[in-house]
Amino acid sequence: MTETPKDDLEITSRKNPPQNFRKGALVRVNRSKYSTSLESKASDPTPPRYIFEGPGEVLTVKGEYAQMRWRLPVPDTWLRVDQLEEWSDK
């Protein structure tokens, strides 16, 4: 029988469960969550404004990632679900 190290338990307990977005949901990217993520460090240093303003449409969800389509002539993108929030036109 193997035991889980305490460090793994602490990391698991701190992790928030991702929100459930469905196909067709309108979302935008949460700036604070995105700016501290690995994805932002691997991307252009200045992200485009439209991802934070929204809306982006969820095309599909696979695991922790959602494929997004923006209402602009730009490629579809994959982002972690925990970096997304519901879009409202307020």
Q: Is residue 4 part of a domain?
A: no
CATH code where residue 35 lies? 2.30.30
Residue 82 and residue 61 in contact, taking contact as beta carbons nearer than 8 Å: no
Q: Is the pTM of this model over 0.75?
A: no
pLDDT in the model for residue 15: 52
Q: Is residue 57 part of a domain?
A: yes
Domains: count for the chain: 1
Residue 8 has pLDDT above 90, yes or no: no
* Containing structural domain, residue 80: 18-85
- Mean predicted confidence (pLDDT) in 22-26: 91
Q: Which residues have CB under 8 Å from 22's CB, separation 6+? A: 58, 61
- Mean predicted confidence (pLDDT) in 56-61: 95
Mean of per-residue pLDDT scores for the chain: 81
Percent of the chain with pLDDT over 90: 51
Residue closest to 79 by CA, chosen among 48, 45, 38: 38
- Mean predicted confidence (pLDDT) in 53-82: 93
> How would you label 40-62 residue by residue, b for 16+ Cβ within 10 Å and e otherwise?
beeeeeeeeeebeebbbbbeebe
Percent of the chain with pLDDT over 70: 78
Amino acid at 33: K
Q: Is residue 13 part of a domain?
A: no
Residue 83 and residue 54 in contact, taking contact as beta carbons nearer than 8 Å: no
